[in-house]
Every structure is written in structure tokens, then in C-alpha cells.
Amino acid sequence: MDWGQILNNAAGELLSPVTAAYALAAIGISVHFGYAGLLNFGQAGFMAVGAYAFVIATLSFDAPLWAAFLAAILASVVFAFLLGIPTLRLRADYLAIVTIASAEIVRYVVSTTGLTEYTGGAAGLSGFNDAFVGINPFPTGSYGFGPWTYTANQLWIRVFGWGLVVLATVLVYLLMRSPWGRVVKGIREDEDAVRSLGKNVYAYKMQALVLGGVLGSLAGVVFVLPRAVQPGNYGTTLTFFIWTMLLLGGAATLFGPIIGAMIFATLLTLSDGILRGLISADIITFISTTQAGQIRFMIIGAVLMLLVVFRPQGIFGNKKELSFNV
Amino acid sequence: MSDTTRSDTAVTHPLVAGAVGPGCKKVDPIVVADNVTRTFGGLTAVDVQHVEIPRGAITALIGPNGAGKTTFFNLLTGFDKPNTGSWSFEGSSLAGVPAFRVSRKGMVRTFQLTKSLGRLSVLQNMLLGATKQPGENIFTALIKPLWRKREEEITAKAEELLARFKLDTKRDDYAASLSGGQRKLLEMARALMSDPVLVMLDEPMAGVNPALTQSLLGHIKELKSEGMSVLFVEHDMHMVRHISDWVIVMAEGRVVAEGPPETVMSDPAVIDAYLGAHHDTDLGDMTGSNPVIEAKEAAAAHHGGNADRKDEH
């Protein structure tokens, strides 16, 4: 059992582009749930919309890189409006139902055989990252140290992904300290009260939904940039992973979603490595390596339960905020 | 409950143009409602033929539970949609106008069940009540210099109001940490941030202790002296008698009586529908469980006079 390799893999996960994508998506639902009180259980849908819009624009329409990004953003704005127009006037739980269903609809639509020409069907699409690799500003070579040793392309995708995370964090910081953020947080507490003070609650909820959705779709793009896009990745489990990361870090906090994503991704790899290591060293004999992949989710589920019982505000959350029964 | 009880004597009042009676014309109405009805299934909650709220006065809306007072409030402020009817505020029609726009026109309400924004600080609650803050636009919000000046103005205003309502020491506490009565004060102070023309208070005294009631009464009177009009729903008859200039009585969704408080409270129709025959006697008297008052009454009976009503128990 190679502890060095296990720890190395886990540490590498800390800064991987997938973790950056998780963090971006978690910042998105932090805007939705943490600040605006919108229950979006379809963040995987927003990620799929972003990823597919980016890939289809690149492959089917030969769009340049900037246009592909624009397509991803626009597609998620349209998606947010489609979800928000019928549901945002209703109670919060309706949005939850609609988002969870829409995310599944998106997943089924992109994997349907009728659209294979554009979406690649169940197999997905690849070979769309040439333009992105083409603008890599780093010369070929080896960068970093230890578990964080990267080739130029690996470095570029990480710098890009985490750069987006930093931009999103700055954006959320600027918005949430502003009067706009105050209105949105007021809506989370009681939307009728905010309405009685002359604020167009519906418009604010829509803006928050679009903002979080765009962050979700950019997360989708970062998610697929280093590899291929596959419909199987966008199931409800992805949404719940992101929720776990958000709650782990603290919902209405600036760094909670980022740290939550890092911890979650690292733990997932670490527990997988340890379990597989123990099995191959014949220390654990009653489960197989394929079962280990499932068992780590049980462990993480148990950890999440402990977390919400003993630290419901997350790592960065303010205990005082939760001590009131509001 | 009939409409004819008092109109035959043709009483007049300075707020009223013509004779006093249910649905009478006011000299200077701020709100005029016509034929407003709201049904919930088979139940007609509100069926108001015509009512006018006077400007620059404190108007009380009273009536038994289920009379449709709060529903009428919701309809006027756009929080509920009526089945029929039209109503106007300062001459402009409000039918079909969404609640937030009603509020922007200067008609600001509070709620029966206080809606303080728990996980925002008291000051932030207040700042939310302010209008014309450019930073509430998502794009302007990103650039602080565009909204800093207005933020300073409204913060100063909020602090002034908080001091007036004796909440200044709670400035940075979460609103959720306030007591029920303090939340009522906060909600009222927050409504004043926008300099409303008409303040609509839904049961401002419910659950508030007697000492705080006194200061709330003072605040409501101050609103009037500052030129605002007030419409409030209340069950506390002392308060209604004490501060209102005009009383409108609703029962079963209709306006059954209106007039100055003294007249309305002696109206047999109102006593019948709402106050009850014993509204002027202490509850202890009726149940025979208040020995202090019983003793007093016994003494008073000896002297042949009425015992003064006492509120202390």
C-alpha cells in the first residue's frame, strides 16, 4: 500500500480543474441559496447547459473561443429565465421541484439519439479544446513541485479555472456588500416584507437566479475543458455533491464554497485511495475494489450528517446566524 | 348591522362632506375604494361598497375576528387581488398595481405577524426601507462610489429614526435577537424610512406590553403631526378611543358603521356586532373573579355612583 501515492493523488486533487469547476458551481448555489434563499436543486443542469453550449458552438458552428464562452453564458441565462418565469412568483419549494426536473430533462435531451449529430448522444463529445490549448500563454516545460507538478497545458487550465473562481468570488463580494445584496438577503428572510418596502422582489430573484446559473454554466465549461463532455456526468449526484461542498464550507460565506469544494474533492480521492489500498493489501477482505467506489460515498454521507448535526453553519459560517430560529 | 341606524339624524363631522354614515364622502379622502369584493371559495371575505379614508387623520379599522379587515388591507396594498372593484390612492387607481409599486407611491404597510428580517442587522433592516438607493441596481451595485453618498444619507436617517424608537443601542444586533415588541417598533420605523404618505399598520399593539404600548401610541400620534395619514387595524379599544380621529367598523366583510370614536362605540349596531354588551366593563366583573373590583363596586353602590374603571389587575 503506497501511502505516498495516495496522499499525492489527494493533494493533486486540491488544485485540479474539476475542483475549480466544483467551486464555481458551489459559488453559484451560494448566490442562489445562501444569499437569495432560492432552492436550486438543478445546478448540474446549469453545468450541462454551459458545457454543451460551449462544445456545440465550437464543434458544430466553428465558433471562436470567445463566442463559445458567450454561447455558454447566454444559454444559461435563457435556461434561468425558463425556470424562473413560471416559478419565482410561487413559494420557494416550487423552484426546487422545477430545477431538479429540468436538470434531468437537459440530461435526457443531450443523450437522446435523435440529437447525436450535435451532442454525441450517450457517448458525448471530445476534441473541442484545441482553441483553448492554442491560446496557452505558458511555454512548454514543467511547472510546480511535488504533487503540483504540471505541464504547460495542465498549468494553463488550472490558472484559467481558478482565475474564474477568483473573479466569481470578487464579483459576489462586491455585490453582497452593496445595497443590491442587502435586498437579496432581505428576500431570503421574508420576501413579503421586502415587497412592502417597495422592492420588485420578482426581478431581484430573477437576477440572483441568472447570476448563480451563469456561474454554474462557467463551471460546466471548466469541468469539460481538460477532457470530454459526457451526459452521464450531469446526474442529480453532481448537484448533491455541490450542495455538500456548499454546506461543508458554509452557505452564505465568501470562501465557504471554495474551501468546501477543495475538502470534498480531496476527501473523495483520499478515501478512495485508502480503501483501494487496504483492499489490495488484503487488510480489508470482505469488499471488492468496485464496491469501495460506492462505500466512500457512504462514508462521505455519514460525515455530512455529522456535519449538519454538529456544525450546521459549515466551516466558515457564523454560528450566531443559525442560533436564531427564523 | 343595518345601514340605517344613524343616518336619519344627519350628524356632521369636520372630516366628512355631508352626513356621517357608512361609506360617507370625506372632505379630503386619501384612499377611495369602490365595490371591492374578495371571495375565498364560497366565503365572501370582503364586500365593501364604498369607503373613503380621510387624509391627515388617524383612522382605525375595527371589527370582529374574520370581519375581513386584514384581507381588505392586503387588497388595498396589492398583496392580494380582489374579485371585483376599484380603488385609488391620492387620485391614482391602484387596481392591479403590484405591491412593491403601491409602496413606492407612498402607501407603506406593516404586518400583523411582524416581518423583521431576522438574519440582517437592525440597521440593515432600516436601510432596506429607504428608497432611491442607486446601489440596489445590480450593475450600479458593483461600483461603490455610485451609491456611497446615498448610503450615508440613509444611514444618518436610519440612525435618527432608531434613536426616536429607542432602538439605537440595538443597531448592529440581528433583528432576530429583538423581542416581539421591539420588532413591532423596528417594523414601524422601517416603514417610515421611505417618508410614506399613508402608513397602514396591521394590529400594531398585538403582543406589546402596556409600557411599550404607550410609546407606540406616541409614535403613531407623531406620524399625524408630521403630516402623514394613518390607517390601522386594532382590537384594543382603549387605543382606538385614545388616538383615532375616525373609526370604520367592518363585520362580515362589509363596512357597517363609521364615525368619530365616541359616536361609533355607542352605536348599537357596533356594540351588537363587535364590542358586545359588556365592552365597557372589566372582564373580571363578568366572571366574578376579580375581588378588588367587586369590593370597589360594592363600595360605589353604597354611594350611589359608578365605580371608576380601573385597568390594573
Residues A236-265: tens digit of each pLDDT: 989 999 999 998 888 888 999 999 999 999
Q: Give the closest residue to B247 by CA, choosing from B222, B275, B227.
A: B275
- Half-sphere exposure (CA, 13 Å, Cβ side) for A199? 32
Give the nearest partner residue to A321 out of B77, B119, B140, using CB atoms. B119
CA atoms of B223 and B213, how far apart (whole Å): 15
- Residue B75 neighbours by CB distance under 10 Å: 25
Q: Is A225 exposed, middle or buried (0-12, 13-18, 19+ CB in 10 A)?
A: buried
Assembly ipTM:
0.86
Q: Give the closest residue to B92 by CA, choosing from B30, B37, B27, B47.
A: B30
Beta-bridge partner residues of A319: none
Smallest Cα distance from B240 to chain A, Å: 24
pLDDT for A165 equals: 97
Whether residue B191 and residue A198 make contact (CB cut-off 8 A), yes or no, is no
Give the nearest partner residue to B141 out of A179, A195, A197, using CB atoms. A179
What are the two backbone dihedrals, phi and then psi, of residue A77, each rounded to the nearest 5 degrees?
A: -65, -45
The cell for A302 is: 455519514
CA atoms of A214 and A236, how far apart (whole Å): 19
Smallest Cα distance from B250 to chain A, Å: 24
For a pLDDT cut of 90, what percent of chain A falls above it? 62
Confidence category of residue A221, pLDDT binned at 50, 70, 90: very high
Whether residue B117 and residue A193 make contact (CB cut-off 8 A), yes or no, is yes
The cell for A249 is: 464550507
Chain B residue numbers with beta carbons less than 8 Å from the beta carbon of A180 are 135-138, 140-141
Residue ranges in chain B modelled with pLDDT below 70: 1-10, 277-313
Query: Hey, what amino acid is at B183?
Result: R
CA atoms of B111 and B11, how far apart (whole Å): 34
Give the nearest partner residue to A194 out of B98, B104, B128, using CB atoms. B128
What string of DSSP letters covers chain B? --TTTTGGG----TTBSS--STTPPBSSEEEEEEEEEEEETTEEEEEEEEEEEETTSEEEEE-STTSSHHHHHHHHTTSS--SEEEEEETTEE-TT--HHHHHHTTEEE--SS----TTSBHHHHHHHT----GGGSTTGGG-GGGTHHHHHHHHHHHHHHHHHTT-GGGTTSBGGGS-HHHHHHHHHHHHHTT--SEEEEESTTTT--HHHHHHHHHHHHHHHHTT-EEEEE---HHHHHHH-SEEEEEETTEEEEEE-HHHHHT-HHHIIIII-TTTTS-HHHHHT--HHHHHHHHHHHHHTSPPPP----
Residue of B nearest to A186 (CA): B117
Chain A residue numbers with beta carbons less than 8 Å from the beta carbon of B103 are 195-198
For chain B, what are the domain ranges?
A: 7-116+187-276, 118-177, 281-313
Confidence category of residue A308, pLDDT binned at 50, 70, 90: confident
pLDDT for B311 equals: 45
Residue of A nearest to B154 (CA): A179
Classify A325 as helix, strand or coil: coil
pLDDT for B281 equals: 62
Angle at B87 between CA B54 and CA B267, to 5 degrees: 45
CA atoms of A83 and A47, how far apart (whole Å): 15
Tell me the mean pLDDT in the region A44-72: 95
CA atoms of B5 and A232, how far apart (whole Å): 76
Residue of B nearest to A194 (CA): B128
pTM as predicted: 0.88
Give the nearest partner residue to B176 out of A171, A194, A324, using CB atoms. A324
Q: Is the dihedral of CA B72, B77, B81, B85 positive or negative?
A: positive
How far is the CA of B205 from the CAs of B114, B128, B211, in angstroms? 11, 23, 11
Give the nearest partner residue to B194 out of A192, A198, A324, using CB atoms. A198
Tell me the mean pLDDT in the region A184-191: 94
Whether residue A196 and residue B115 make contact (CB cut-off 8 A), yes or no, is yes
The cell for A294 is: 460506492
Chain B residue numbers with beta carbons less than 8 Å from the beta carbon of A195 are 79, 99-100, 103
Whether residue A175 and residue B141 make contact (CB cut-off 8 A), yes or no, is yes
Chain B residue numbers with beta carbons less than 8 Å from the beta carbon of A197 are 100, 103, 108, 128-129, 190-191, 193-194
Residues B266-285: tens digit of each pLDDT: 888 788 777 776 666 665 55
Q: Which fold has domain B7-116+187-276?
A: Rossmann fold (3.40.50)
The gap from C-alpha B88 to its chain's centroid, in whole angstroms, comes to 18
CA atoms of A20 and A23, how far apart (whole Å): 5
Q: How far apart are the first and last CA of chain A?
A: 50
CB of A67 closer than 8 Å to CB of A57: yes
Q: Domains (ranges, CATH) in chain A?
A: 3-322 (1.10.3470)
CA atoms of B271 and B15, how far apart (whole Å): 23
CA atoms of A104 and A107, how far apart (whole Å): 5
What are the two backbone dihedrals, phi and then psi, of residue A94, each rounded to the nearest 5 degrees?
A: -65, -40
Whether residue A180 and residue B138 make contact (CB cut-off 8 A), yes or no, is yes
Give the nearest partner residue to B137 out of A180, A185, A201, using CB atoms. A180
Give the nearest partner residue to B118 out of A182, A192, A326, using CB atoms. A326
Smallest Cα distance from B24 to chain A, Å: 29
CA atoms of A261 and A269, how far apart (whole Å): 12
Residues B105-124: tens digit of each pLDDT: 999 999 988 888 998 999 99
Smallest Cα distance from A308 to chain B, Å: 19
Tell me the pLDDT of chain A averaged across its residues: 91
CB of A281 closer than 8 Å to CB of A60: no
Q: Is B12 exposed, middle or buried (0-12, 13-18, 19+ CB in 10 A)?
A: exposed
Confidence category of residue A276, pLDDT binned at 50, 70, 90: confident
Whether residue A192 and residue B79 make contact (CB cut-off 8 A), yes or no, is yes
Kindly list the residues of chain A whose beta carbon comes within 8 Å of any beta carbon in chain B: 171, 174-175, 178-183, 185-186, 188-190, 192-201, 207, 211, 320-321, 324, 326
